[in-house]
Chains A and B, each alone.
Chain A
């Protein structure tokens, strides 16, 4: 219905939103008048889109991302753009150039990242549904930390057109919500083939979650409970897996040796791609302008130094180094070989089991400032990056608490079997014994 809007005046005490739309247009369809929050790295026509970076301040896209088009077609109201780590580079949303977002469960802690704004908006009850993006865990981590559900779809199942690229070969847009059923609904709306995205696959998603889990073989890689995983988190997750076993699933422990270098492969790949993706922010076509009184390189360097935060500059430099002549073989090429090995590990395991399960994050949500050096921050992504490297679907579903803080159960599935990870999460969410 043309001209229809919904009013949106949330009490955003956790600073989940970068901007909200007080009167958000909506229409008819499966999501008629449902408020949906959209992460700020997803292009929205006529609504400022910054990736939480100074370098894109004031940028108003002239077009909608494919997922936003799909939301609008389903009648949803885009009510705001959510905070994030700048360009998705972070695990806490502290790397936003504007402000940090607080965890609604415990405001002294981070919501996780990089889709921390979307997770907080859902967890605080400001919206029922939100879009996040997941390059190395950026949907699943904040879902786990804030106690909601988040799905990273199979690579190619959801269009990336309009998603401002951080690491093209790894990232997917995905649904975040308080329940598996809502995640499933949002996934139905956003998934599907998009001819504008050459990496998009023609594999629509129409699914009614099925809690029946009898006979499902669940693999549990030992490496997911290794060094660095908080034993209390491990214990909560094992309890969750045991519940699934009691409901009829078969649990099989297994090994995933490529975990040894998966994180390094991930960081080399994502920084390499980022170093190239972020070269376009030169202040010529959009964003705060470059100083045209200076020579090009000087103006450009200055624009980038002022416009990018420290972590972004670090990753651009890491990626530049990894691709530079003399180092390409040692870093980028090796990372791709490692990535193949991760894929091979998944393929081998998925011949024996139907899904893999383990913790989403090694710990519960950090306190602000707790992870001060970059490497220790990177290490917290160890459990989420394998699914991105292999392009397989992975979901995080709340499975309990440690000292009042949520823990996420991660379920990873075969390529294009997003439905199955949703079903396993749904089975767990239904709880009890069947």
Chain B
């Protein structure tokens, strides 16, 4: 059964002020209703005024998504009654959106895939509700309008996605694109919300609302695919409905019960003038986007397509990689270290590239490249630094950490008998006569075993090349 998925994505634009007033958008750590004014509180008589930067950001998104910008677009009122709406309507765009008919190329289930974008439009975020009371006390609602009026863009795709995984990949690509544009901060809580339309070919479409994370999209859709397939298998019909995703339980629940058929009574917002921004959109400059950066990493740094894709899939990581010294960037070892080791360790700890001191990791890479620590030690240092950050938010300098852990590489001198590598090799030979004998009969594995013993004795701080050289010399009876 073919799975058909279309997405509606709401992203907060990272402007300094709200969409229609000068209140700061930096509200997350502040008390409720401390970032509000007559406009975003919906006080009688106040009037909205469009934030130019929000339009600019939305146009950048439209351009990055290869959209057409119509001659004229306008704002409309979407009328419905809910306490999170300060005015009793939401100012949004309806029949004249900012941009239409775009696309975004992604890595699909079967190779490169073009996902069509239906439209991109701007609207204001509603306030935040906190539900109070319960079994013993009457229920009521608390309202905070700090979020009311934060600029959102809504991006609507055609039903071009064919699996939950593809939907996730699309979202990741979209997020990367928005972050490359510098218009969106995915780290901010609640900065992204997704509604998904999903159907199995030949069945009715179900809308899943309230998905607030990237992982959530795949989870919610996977749940829905299974639910719908099971229902069909049991001979039930899929009903056209709206369902809510309950993130904590990983399930979707029907919310049909009391929801009347909504009639939003859209009409053009009489307090605002239309936009004519086609020319502006043409002039607007957008930075290098993930696809071209990936190509540049392949062409200029000689990276494999896989490494290049990983390293450009997140703007911060791409910036980090680009900031490394030239001789490091062209090395496969560096690419592996960043793409696999660094990201792997971050992922393992559920940490983000944000909030870690990237300069430290750059230094660690430089030390590693210089040979002052071994590969193994570098990983150990990385883990220690990440653990420190997770614990306390900060960490030591890499050299401090290496010193504290005693992980600086131990050098073996060419001929001297006193260096720790040679001493450890002698010990290993003395303790493992069988291996020495095996080596004598030409068993290569015996050497590997002895190398391992020496590495253990030096706690991984000896350089593998040195150990090999010293062992070979001692075993061949040069002394």
Which of B45, B46, B143 is packed against the most chain A CB atoms within 10 Å?
B45
Q: Choose one: B43, B48, B89; the contact of A62 (CB below 8 Å).
A: B43
| Min CB gap B75→A, angstroms | 10
Question: Taking the complex as formed, is B273 at the interface, i.e. its CB lies under 8 A from any CB of chain A?
Answer: yes
| Min CB gap A223→B, angstroms | 27
Question: Taking the complex as formed, is A43 at the interface, i.e. its CB lies under 8 A from any CB of chain B?
Answer: yes
Question: Taking the complex as formed, is B86 at the interface, i.e. its CB lies under 8 A from any CB of chain A?
Answer: yes
Selected interface stretch from A69-77, A191-199, A365-373: A191-199
| Min CB gap B171→A, angstroms | 32
- The 8 residue pairs across chains A and B that have the minimum distance between CB atoms: A279-B88, A323-B265, A168-B270, A169-B270, A164-B44, A162-B45, A43-B45, A292-B140
Q: Can you list 11 pairs linking A and B with CB atoms under 8 Å apart?
A: A62-B43, A160-B47, A275-B79, A279-B81, A282-B81, A285-B86, A286-B44, A293-B138, A296-B141, A297-B81, A320-B265
Q: Are A161 and B47 closer than 8 Å at their CB atoms?
A: yes
> Quick one: which of A77-110 are within 8 Å of B by CB?
none
| Min CB gap B173→A, angstroms | 36
Q: Are A198 and B273 closer than 8 Å at their CB atoms?
A: yes
Q: Are B42 and A280 closer than 8 Å at their CB atoms?
A: yes
Q: Choose one: B41, B47, B140; the contact of A285 (CB below 8 Å).
A: B41
Q: Which residue of B lies closest to A171 (CB)?
A: B270
Residues of B within 8 A of A279 (CB): 79, 81, 87-89
Which of A162, A197, A272, A280 is packed against the most chain B CB atoms within 10 Å?
A280
Are A161 and B43 CB-contacts (below 8 A) given A276-B89, A323-B265, A324-B263?
no
Are A199 and B44 CB-contacts (below 8 A) given A272-B267, A292-B140, A324-B263?
no
Q: Are A161 and B87 closer than 8 Å at their CB atoms?
A: no
Beyond contacts A49-B44, A198-B50, A273-B267: 10 other A-B pairs, Cβ-Cβ < 8 A, are A42-B45, A43-B44, A61-B38, A62-B43, A164-B45, A165-B44, A276-B267, A278-B88, A323-B79, A324-B265
Which of B83, B86, B273 is packed against the most chain A CB atoms within 10 Å?
B83
Q: Are B45 and A163 closer than 8 Å at their CB atoms?
A: yes
- Size class of the B contact interface (CB-based, 8 Å): 20 to 34
Residues of A within 8 A of B45 (CB): 41-43, 49, 61, 65, 161-165
Residues of A within 8 A of B83 (CB): 282, 284, 296
Question: Taking the complex as formed, is B272 at the interface, i.e. its CB lies under 8 A from any CB of chain A?
Answer: yes
Residues of B within 8 A of A198 (CB): 47-50, 271-273
Q: Which residue of B lies closest to A292 (CB)?
A: B140
The CA-CA distance from A65 to B50 in the complex, in Å, is 19
Residues of B within 8 A of A59 (CB): 44
The CA-CA distance from A197 to B38 in the complex, in Å, is 13
Residues of A within 8 A of B27 (CB): none
> Quick one: which of A244-298 are within 8 Å of B by CB?
272-273, 275-276, 278-282, 284-286, 292-293, 296-297
Counted as pairs of residues, one from A and one from B, with CB atoms less than 8 Å apart, the total is 108
Question: Taking the complex as formed, is A300 at the interface, i.e. its CB lies under 8 A from any CB of chain B?
Answer: yes
The CA-CA distance from A332 to B95 in the complex, in Å, is 15
The CA-CA distance from A63 to B47 in the complex, in Å, is 13
Chain B interface, DSSP helix/strand/loop, else mixed:
loop
Are A280 and B88 CB-contacts (below 8 A) given A62-B43, A198-B47, A199-B271?
yes
Q: Choose one: B44, B267, B271; the contact of A323 (CB below 8 Å).
A: B267
- Size class of the A contact interface (CB-based, 8 Å): 35 or more
Q: Are A284 and B143 closer than 8 Å at their CB atoms?
A: yes
Q: Choose one: A61, A164, A272, A296; the contact of B82 (CB below 8 Å).
A: A296
Residues of A within 8 A of B272 (CB): 198
The CA-CA distance from A276 to B263 in the complex, in Å, is 13
Question: Taking the complex as formed, is A56 at the interface, i.e. its CB lies under 8 A from any CB of chain B?
Answer: yes
Give A163-197 as 1s and 0s: 1 = Cβ < 8 Å from B's Cβ atoms: 11101110000000000000000000000000111
Residues of A within 8 A of B82 (CB): 296
Q: Are B47 and A196 closer than 8 Å at their CB atoms?
A: yes
Question: Taking the complex as formed, is B60 at the interface, i.e. its CB lies under 8 A from any CB of chain A?
Answer: no
Residues of B within 8 A of A324 (CB): 263, 265
| Min CB gap A78→B, angstroms | 15
Q: Choose one: A196, A280, A282; the contact of B44 (CB below 8 Å).
A: A280
The CA-CA distance from A42 to B138 in the complex, in Å, is 38
The CA-CA distance from A292 to B89 in the complex, in Å, is 21
Which of B46, B47, B48 is packed against the most chain A CB atoms within 10 Å?
B47
Question: Taking the complex as formed, is B77 at the interface, i.e. its CB lies under 8 A from any CB of chain A?
Answer: yes
Q: Are B42 and A285 closer than 8 Å at their CB atoms?
A: yes
The CA-CA distance from A286 to B33 in the complex, in Å, is 14
> Quick one: which of A298-317 are within 8 Å of B by CB?
300
Residues of B within 8 A of A51 (CB): 44
Question: Taking the complex as formed, is A325 at the interface, i.e. its CB lies under 8 A from any CB of chain B?
Answer: yes
Give B245-278 as 1s and 0s: 1 = Cβ < 8 Å from A's Cβ atoms: 0000000000000000001011100111100000
Q: Which residue of A lies closest to B41 (CB)?
A: A285
Q: Choose one: A61, A168, A280; the contact of B86 (CB below 8 Å).
A: A280
Residues of A within 8 A of B43 (CB): 43, 61-63, 285-286
Give B22-49 as 1s and 0s: 1 = Cβ < 8 Å from A's Cβ atoms: 0000000000000000100111111111
| Min CB gap A276→B, angstroms | 5
Q: Are B77 and A276 closer than 8 Å at their CB atoms?
A: yes
The CA-CA distance from A332 to B76 in the complex, in Å, is 14
Residues of B within 8 A of A43 (CB): 43-45
| Min CB gap A174→B, angstroms | 16
Residues of A within 8 A of B265 (CB): 275-276, 320, 323-325, 328
Q: Which residue of B lies closest to A319 (CB)?
A: B265
Residues of A within 8 A of B87 (CB): 279-280
Give A106-131 as 1s and 0s: 1 = Cβ < 8 Å from B's Cβ atoms: 00000000000000000000000000
Q: Which residue of B lies closest to A273 (CB)?
A: B270
Which of A163, A165, A279 is packed against the most chain B CB atoms within 10 Å?
A279
Residues of A within 8 A of B38 (CB): 61-63
Which of B44, B50, B88, B263 is packed against the most chain A CB atoms within 10 Å?
B44
> Quick one: which of B75-102 are within 8 Å of A by CB?
77, 79, 81-83, 86-89
Are A276 and B47 CB-contacts (below 8 A) given A168-B271, A285-B41?
no
The CA-CA distance from A160 to B45 in the complex, in Å, is 8
The CA-CA distance from A212 to B359 in the complex, in Å, is 79
Are A196 and B49 CB-contacts (below 8 A) given A59-B44, A273-B270?
yes
